[in-house]
């Protein structure tokens, strides 16, 4: 596994917040990180939010199942109080609804299982800290107000969408829903879609989980690998928690929509994704995946989706994922 070349002095400053209702868990986690970080712990979401108000936290690691306030609810509030903090969700059990919410509501960076692999967790936290500190450095030089929020942003038709679905009828419906506001490209073939991206100004790629010859998950992960700024949305009707976690941890999927969903959900997701793309293009650090590809070995220069996937599979085989 490739090590990140982090400046030690930078990381020495880093502050972590662990939230778990189990005190023994907090004790254990804080000792794991106490050598290199300033560690804060909270036994509930409410306590965690108090700490966020008083300290500059780089990385938040929260348990999902907690009484009173769930991990996702806590992370959603945390995002408002401390938008620059990187959010990691930890759980003993992958409940699909929680995973989907963690993407769509908590916009989390990673999803970590209990019990965890200590080395990988350390690596993830270290990397997340760097992203957080970079992000903070940039927002410090630019007033936050210049980063458009969803309400302020004027989404113009300069952004284009790409839908990939093996069912042409679905594609027609998508086109109908978003044109003329956005120029909408459609394709039933993943490889065709992949070649289409560099030729247009694609902001958002939406793919169905079931594509011909390739998993929608793989396709979106490949897209993200090659074009880190693009926001990706996965449409799926499967109840597969594993797939969802892979989409978060490897694909940094922006939204995960479980079919059937109301049209409005897709519309809102697209609007937010376009904005996300816009911000990511202007301020690359706003986009964690962008940072990740910056720090890690660049995705091979290979341009075809097949080669890219081969590269990704090698990564998976090397145990670089959860």
Partner 1 sequence: MIDYKKIKKSLKRALKSIEQMELLEELMKTQQTGQWPAHLSPRLLASEFSIATQQFLQQLQLPVPSESKSPAPPPDNNEPPPMSYEEWLKKLQMRQGGQPATPIAPSTAPTAISSGAGVDEAIRQSEARLRTIIDATPLGICITNANYIFEYVNKAYADIYGYHPSEMLGKPFTMIVEPEKADFWRDLHDKYLAGYKEIRGEWTTVHKSGKKLTILADAARIVGADGKPKKVTFVMDITELTRLREEARINEIQMMQTEKMSSLGQMVAGLAHEMNTPLGFVKNNIEMLEAKNKEVKELMGMYEKLRSQIMYGSPNDVAMLLSQIDSFSQKVKNRVWQESDTLFRSAIEGIDRIQDLILSLRNFSRLDEADFKPTDINENIEATLKIANHMFKGGIQVIKEFSPLPMVQAYPAQMNQVFLNLITNAVHAVDERTGKIIIRTMQQGDSVVIKVIDNGKGIPPENLKKIFDPFFTTKPVGQGTGLGLSIAYKIIERHGGKIEVQSQVGQGTEFTVTLPISSSAQLSAAKQSASVPFTDSPFIE
Residues that bind partner 1 (CB under 8 A): 20-22, 24-25, 27-29, 31-32, 34-35, 63, 65-68, 91-93, 95, 113-116, 118
How far is 124 from 59, CA to CA, in rounded Å?
10
Using CA atoms in the order 114, 117, 122, 128, what is the torsion angle rounded to 10 degrees? -60
**Who's near 45: CB < 8 A, 6+ residues apart?**
19, 62, 66, 68, 69, 70, 71, 73, 74, 77
How far is 95 from 91, CA to CA, in rounded Å?
9
Task: Rank residues 24 and 301 by Cβ distance to partner 1 and give the closer one.
Answer: 24
Neighbours of 10 (CB within 10 A): 13
Residues paired with 181 in a beta bridge:
none
Task: Rank residues 28 and 302 by Cβ distance to partner 1 and give the closer one.
Answer: 28
Range 40-43 contact pairs with CB under 8 angstroms and sequence separation of 24 or more:
40/15, 40/16, 41/17, 42/17, 42/18, 43/19
Task: Rank residues 70 and 249 by Cβ distance to partner 1 and give the closer one.
Answer: 70
Burial 248-271 (b: 16+ CB within 10 A, else e): bbbbbbbbbbbeeeeeeebeebbb
How crowded is the C-beta side of 134, counted as CA atoms within 13 Å? 20
In angstroms, give the least distance from the CB of 70 to partner 1: 10
Collapsing DSSP states into helix, strand and coil, what is residue 88? strand
In angstroms, give the least distance from the CB of 26 to partner 1: 9
In angstroms, give the least distance from the CB of 67 to partner 1: 4
Task: Rank residues 139 and 265 by Cβ distance to partner 1 and give the closer one.
Answer: 265
In angstroms, give the least distance from the CB of 236 to partner 1: 15
CA distances from 11 to 6, 58, 62 (A): 7, 10, 20
In angstroms, give the least distance from the CB of 27 to partner 1: 6
Task: Rank residues 20 and 58 by Cβ distance to partner 1 and give the closer one.
Answer: 20
In angstroms, give the least distance from the CB of 51 to partner 1: 19
Task: Rank residues 92 and 168 by Cβ distance to partner 1 and give the closer one.
Answer: 92
Task: Rank residues 21 and 271 by Cβ distance to partner 1 and give the closer one.
Answer: 21
Task: Rank residues 99 and 214 by Cβ distance to partner 1 and give the closer one.
Answer: 99
Order of all β-strands in the sheet with 255-258: 183-187, 160-164, 202-208, 231-236, 255-258
Q: Which two tokens stand for residue 171?
A: 């594609």
In angstroms, give the least distance from the CB of 121 to partner 1: 9
In angstroms, give the least distance from the CB of 76 to partner 1: 18
CB 248 within 8 A of CB 217: no
């Amino acid at each position: 596994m490739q090590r990140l070349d982090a400046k030690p002095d930078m990381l020495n400053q880093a502050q972590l917040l662990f939230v778990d209702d189990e005190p023994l868990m907090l004790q254990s986690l804080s000792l794991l990180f106490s050598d290199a970080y300033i560690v804060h712990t909270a036994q509930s979401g409410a306590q965690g939010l108090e700490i966020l108000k008083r300290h500059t936290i780089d990385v938040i690691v929260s348990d999902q199942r907690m009484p009173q306030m769930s991990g996702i609810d806590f992370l959603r509030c945390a995002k408002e109080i401390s938008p620059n903090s990187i959010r990691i969700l930890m759980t003993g059990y992958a409940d699909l609804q929680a995973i989907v919410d963690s993407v769509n509501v908590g916009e989390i960076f990673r999803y970590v299982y209990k019990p965890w692999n200590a080395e990988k967790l350390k690596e993830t936290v270290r990397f997340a800290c760097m992203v957080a500190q970079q992000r903070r450095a940039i927002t410090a030089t630019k007033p936050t107000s210049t980063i458009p929020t969803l309400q302020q942003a004027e989404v113009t038709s300069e952004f284009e969408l790409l839908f990939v679905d093996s069912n042409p009828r679905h594609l027609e419906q998508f086109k109908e829903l978003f044109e003329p506001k956005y120029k909408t490209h459609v394709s039933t073939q993943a490889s065709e879609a992949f070649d289409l991206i560099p030729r247009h100004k694609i902001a958002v790629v939406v793919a169905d989980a079931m594509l011909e010859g390739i998993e929608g998950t793989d396709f979106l992960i490949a897209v993200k690998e090659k074009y880190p700024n693009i926001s990706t949305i996965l449409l799926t009707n499967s109840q597969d928690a594993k797939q969802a976690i892979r989409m978060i941890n490897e694909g940094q999927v922006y939204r995960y929509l479980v079919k059937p969903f109301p049209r409005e959900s897709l519309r809102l997701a697209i609007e937010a994704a376009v904005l996300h793309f816009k911000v990511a293009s202007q301020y690359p650090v706003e986009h964690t995946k962008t940072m990740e590809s910056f720090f890690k070995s660049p995705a091979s220069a290979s341009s075809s989706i097949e080669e890219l996937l081969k590269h990704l599979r090698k990564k998976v085989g090397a145990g670089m994922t959860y």
